[in-house]
A and B are shown apart, each in its own frame.
Chain A
């Protein structure tokens, strides 16, 4: 077993276990903390896939910025221990099970029948190059310049909208 495979199993196990812990806790703060751990282990998985940039942004943006905001909100609002919605509505439970089953079938189909591997070249040099910040920046500002600019306008509209809806006084 190479180091890569060992690391893969470690990160995969951590992310699966933390995901289960996250959805079973009743205390929202503990759930959020385990979600941070889950994101961190996902970042590790990305690293083993040669996607350094995504791994770093995963840590900085999700685990760092977004989850810290989440934690602040949770601590400021102090929600009561989550009431179990599923226990109150048994019909919802059946619905949730059906949805989960459909998703499970789909993932199983993708892994075992759709054979995505045949389309991926075994040559890894390209994929190693593609994961660097330099390659991503080059793609972003040449091939994907239109989506990039569109995303810029999207953020502008969202920022203006947030200000109007939350802050601006009526005259």
Chain B
């Protein structure tokens, strides 16, 4: 267990999260006012864990019989997950009341999914990765189908469950082969003996299966088919969590378990695999998103193309690439959460106003909301000085360092294509007459969440160096 008080202190983010889940369960069971207490308790819990992790990033250690890592990049991932989830909680409060689907369990399952993500980021053993992944995924399947009255939500939940279990099957098979060739599930052993192990065909097959399984979770191209349907079918707030937290968690697990991939000055054994799926997902996502009229489906395809940019970082395989991927994940989390938050606000009861043309003229009716959405769209398109630009910039730089210039060029071309459908929303809002009488129910908590994420996006864009320094210090 814990050898000293410092180790206990370092593990606190996980302990607070676990304790918070149990307390939330008790609140839900025993309190009459749980409708008021539980959402805010959840938001504060996420905020507390996030701030604790950010403040104590220096406490780098390995605890719990070499099962968990603490401090450093693990804590930064914790902060991304929990602060993102706090924003999701804020935008959910009024959204789920709008749909008359208030369940206290919604917040409880939100917390368990975040605990799963945190376990994936902290793992020093493949067991922990697998259990964290399952905890996250099962919570996601439940969240997707929470609004049972809608047939589409049920479909989304079932689809996500079936394809997600399929992906889990790949991961477990991969872990079995890795265990078979390395005779241990300890990630440290795999990292130190990576070069020797890659001469073993079984190990390479295992790692490939492992990566294919995670490609499902990060919504990369050949394994993306669930993404648009699930995002469209499930609640907008939940889709926001899937596209940000789920993706970041899968990347954190890849970085945690296959850290050896990033040791080379240029590339690694799996660079060809990564390069192929990154090019395919970038272009597929960007091109298909142009044809979408439903804004949630558009954001789903945009999430596929963002997965492509992130995988360039994995293909580059040097330490700058990790920094780039983590920066991009932080930036992407908040810009996507903001965008989904605004979609959830504009969305009326019974899924009206989801068509992109219903955004026409938003600027004349709701100028502030339109301005926020434009900032987020510019950031998603990668326009400086917002966070999205620097995320892409760092990843492309890392790719060029690894002599993958062609990949960086394809990335730039793809983001130029994707600018079309992001800027189209801005054009619609500002230069088209309103066809819609926008009966938007004001929600202060949702506005708080959206404004927070926009501020983070702007700050990350203006001071990218401070966050990047924090990340690179621990690589």
- Chain A interface residues toward B at CB < 8 A: 106, 109-110, 114, 116, 119, 142-147, 149-151, 153-154, 156-158, 160-161, 163-165, 168, 170-171
Chain B neighbourhood of A157, CB < 8 A: 109, 112-113, 135, 138-139, 142
- Residues in B with CB closer than 8 Å to A106 are 205
Instruction: State whether B128 touches A161 (Cβ < 8 A).
Output: no
Q: A110-B180, A154-B134, A161-B138 are in contact. List 6 more A-B contacts (CB 8 A).
A: A146-B64, A146-B125, A147-B125, A150-B116, A153-B135, A170-B148
Write the B101-126 contact mask toward A (1 if CB under 8 angstroms, else 0). 11101001100110110010000010
For the complex of A and B, 7 pairs with smallest distance between CB atoms: A161-B142, A150-B131, A157-B112, A146-B67, A147-B127, A164-B105, A143-B65
Residue of B67, B131, B149 near A170 (CB, 8 A) is B149
Q: Is the CB of B127 within 8 A of A164?
A: no
B449 to chain A, nearest CB (A): 23
Q: How far is the CA of A37 from the CA of B59 in the complex (A)?
A: 53
Point out the residue from B25, B138, B201, B205 that lies within 8 Å of A154, measured CB to CB: B138
CB-based nearest B residue for A113: B201
Question: B181 within 8 Å of A by Cβ?
Answer: yes
**Does A114 contact B65, Cβ atoms closer than 8 Å?**
no
Q: Which residue of B lies closest to A151 (CB)?
A: B131
Residues of the A chain whose Cβ atoms lie less than 8 Å from the Cβ of B128: 146-147, 150
With contacts A114-B180, A114-B181, A164-B105 taken as known, whether A149 is within 8 angstroms of B18 at the C-beta atoms is: yes
Q: By the criterion CB–CB under 8 Å, are B109 and A170 in contact?
A: no
CB distance from A153 to the nearest CB of B (A): 6
B1 adjacent to chain A (CB < 8 Å): yes
The chain B residue sitting closest to A106, CB to CB, is: B205
Chain A residues whose CB sits within 8 angstroms of the CB of B113 once the complex forms: 157
> Nearest chain A CB to B120's CB is how many angstroms away?
10
Main secondary structure of the interface of A (DSSP, over half): helix
With contacts A147-B125, A154-B138 taken as known, whether A170 is within 8 angstroms of B112 at the C-beta atoms is no
B21 touches A145 (CB 8 A): no
The reply on B424 being an interface residue by CB < 8 A is: no
Which residues of B lie under 8 Å from residue A109 when comparing CB positions?
Answer: 201-202
Residue of A nearest to B17 (CB): A153
CA of A145 to CA of B15 in the docked complex: distance in angstroms?
13
A-chain residues with CB within 8 Å of residue B125 when the two chains form the complex: 146-147
Bound-state CA distance A163–B103 (Å) is 11
Asked whether A171 lies within 8 Å of B102 as measured between CB atoms, the reply is yes
Which residues of the partner chain B approach A145 to less than 8 Å between Cβ atoms? 1, 64-65, 67
A161 touches B183 (CB 8 A): no
Q: Once the chains bind, are B127 and A154 in contact (CB under 8 Å)?
A: no
Say whether B131 contacts A147, CB under 8 Å.
yes
Residues of A contacting B21 with CB < 8 Å?
153, 156
Jot down 24 A-B pairs with beta carbons below 8 A, ordered by A.
A106-B205, A114-B202, A119-B183, A144-B65, A145-B64, A146-B68, A149-B18, A150-B116, A153-B18, A153-B112, A153-B135, A154-B131, A157-B112, A157-B139, A158-B138, A160-B112, A163-B105, A164-B103, A164-B146, A165-B142, A165-B146, A165-B157, A170-B148, A170-B149
Assuming A149-B18, A153-B115, A165-B148, is B103 touching A144 (CB within 8 A)?
Answer: no
B149 and chain A: residue at smallest CB distance: A170
Task: Find chain A residues with CB under 8 A from B200 CB.
Answer: 114
Q: Bound state CA distance, A158 and B119, in angstroms?
A: 17
A145 to chain B, nearest CB (A): 7
Across the interface, B132 reaches (CB within 8 A) one of A144, A150, A156, A160, namely: A150
A116 touches B180 (CB 8 A): yes
Q: What is the CA–CA distance of A125 and B205 in the complex, to the nearest angstrom?
A: 33
The answer to whether B135 and A161 touch across the interface, beta carbons within 8 angstroms, is no
- Specify the chain A residue showing the minimal Cβ separation from B113: A157
- Name the distance in Å between A120's Cβ and chain B's nearest Cβ: 9
Q: How far is the CA of A109 from the CA of B200 in the complex (A)?
A: 12
Identify which of A143, A146, A157 gathers the most chain B CB atoms within 10 Å of its CB. Answer: A146
Residue of B nearest to A149 (CB): B18
Measured between beta carbons, the chain B residues less than 8 angstroms from A142 are 1, 65
Decide: B142 and A164 in contact? CB cutoff 8 A. yes
Contact residue among A143, A163, A171 (Cβ-Cβ distance under 8 Å from B100): A171
CA distance in complex: A72, B268 (Å): 51
With a cutoff of 8 Å between Cβ atoms, the chain B residues found around residue A161 in the complex are: 105, 109, 138-139, 141-142
